[in-house]
Amino acid sequence: MKHVFLGILFIFINLGLHAQGRNQGIKIGAKAGANFSNFSDAANNENKTGLLTGAFIKGFINNKIAIQVEALFSKEGAKLNNQKLNIDYIRFPVLVKYYLLKGINIQGGPQFGFVVNDNITKVLGSLFEVEDIDITGNIGIGIDLPFDLSIDVRYNFGLSDVVKNGNVGKNQVFSVTLACAFLNK
């Protein structure tokens, strides 16, 4: 899976390099924000708030379309029966951004996540084990602001189960982030 991501990243960087002369080129930056996550099928399931931080590279194909690839650390999970279920992921969203108006875009694409830490077995018992890889879809809206700042609001919907054994469901995450591009080519 990691080789697939690296291949996709290479393709999008090359697309951005080809687009550089026709539009806004490539932007590289950092982003941070908050997640509000839960599981789709779990009963008595409440939102859990977590940190989302990482980096992005965005390449413009033309004046209306950009491809953005991100590497994010994402604290997710849920509150279930007054217990916090914590899952930390390294996530790699691959997004197509379509600019409706100057600075306003809609976005969507897949996201691949790799678990780096969790407490599911500790909280729910030895029968429950988190899947190592999580695949979600992303949809959202973004606004580009002055000074190379931008705000993204996204909904991430799980396409794969969170837990190997059990009916916990799929990840559902609403996120809000502020990004700053520090390199424009």
Among residues 110, 125, 123, which one has the least CA distance to residue 77?
123
The residues of the chain scoring below 70 in pLDDT are 1-23, 166
Give the model's pLDDT for residue 1: 53
Number of structural domains the chain divides into:
1
**Domain with 34 in it: what CATH number?**
2.40.160.20
Enter the pTM of the model: 0.85
Q: What is the tens place of the pLDDT at every residue in 67-117?
A: 999 999 999 999 988 889 999 999 999 999 999 988 899 999 999 999 999
3-state SS, residue 9: helix
Q: Which domain holds residue 57?
A: 2-184
Question: Nearest-5° angle of CA 20, CA 24, CA 26?
Answer: 60
CA distance 105 to 143: 6
CA distance 59 to 68: 6
